[in-house]
Amino acid sequence: MPSSTRSSTRSATRPPQRPAQRPAPAARPAGEVRLIGGQWKRSKLAVPDRPGLRPTPDRVRETLYNWLGQDLSGWQVVDAYAGSGALGYEAASRGAAKVVLIEQDNVLVQSLAAAAQRLGAQDRVQVVRADALAWLRGQPAQAWDLVLLDPPFGLGLDGPALQAARRVVRDDGYLYLESGQPLDEAGAAALGLRLHRNGRAGMVHFHLLTPLPVAFAKVEPQ
């Protein structure tokens, strides 16, 4: 038998090789975001792996704080639906006198509190475990310079939270809304708000709003 045939016979009878086993995937690590301006520029915030958590992208935060101005010295700020705290800690980094972070998820609350301790921000940053809408409804009227709203996208534009925020923000203050769909001028006006600036980054629509005069606003009663 020719040698080429012998070689083919040996190959045919050779047992098939088992594919190399792939190592088991490692547990998904917690992510992180960096603050992009102010006192704690480039400091990292942990982003725990929690359902629906999507920190505000760097590009969007940079745009927002360009709109607001880089110096928030003396401002009173609420970061409702705080999540990673990226929005609220950015305000504190830029000089806000008081920032309250509202979050309901206990894992995120612990992460937010750990960040305050690590940054030495306990004197200006308060972490509160609460439902954001209920907390806003319990606040006195016109108590805040800036209310940051980044609710889960499943809530849509979350009109009740916007109405509650409209009541607690000062007449010369600002509301920020991040959502999966745009809010137009008519929709904002129906909530007692004026669309000051807006933009989009991928699937994220972001809006900076100011209160309309009370005579033109349909504001939720306290």
Q: What is the average pLDDT across 151-179?
A: 85
Q: Is the pLDDT of residue 14 over 70?
A: no
Work out the angle at residue 128's Cα, subtended by the Cα atoms of residues 125 and 131, and round it to the nearest 5 degrees.
140
pLDDT of residue 48: 86
Q: In what order do the strands lie in the sheet with 193-201?
A: 125-129, 98-103, 76-80, 144-149, 169-179, 204-211, 193-201
- The pLDDT confidence band at residue 94, using thresholds 50, 70 and 90, is very high
Tokens standing for residue 33? 């975001």
Taking all residues of the chain, what is their mean pLDDT, rounded to a whole number? 84
User: Which domains, and CATH codes, for the chain?
Assistant: 29-216 (3.40.50.150)
- The pLDDT confidence band at residue 214, using thresholds 50, 70 and 90, is low
Per the CB < 8 A criterion, the answer to whether 219 and 167 are in contact is yes
pLDDT of residue 16: 47
pLDDT of residue 53: 79
Per the CB < 8 A criterion, the answer to whether 169 and 161 are in contact is no
Q: Is the pLDDT of residue 182 over 80?
A: yes
Q: Is the pLDDT of residue 112 over 80?
A: yes
H helices within the chain, ranges in order?
Answer: 3-13, 58-68, 86-93, 106-119, 132-137, 159-168, 185-190
pLDDT of residue 180: 85
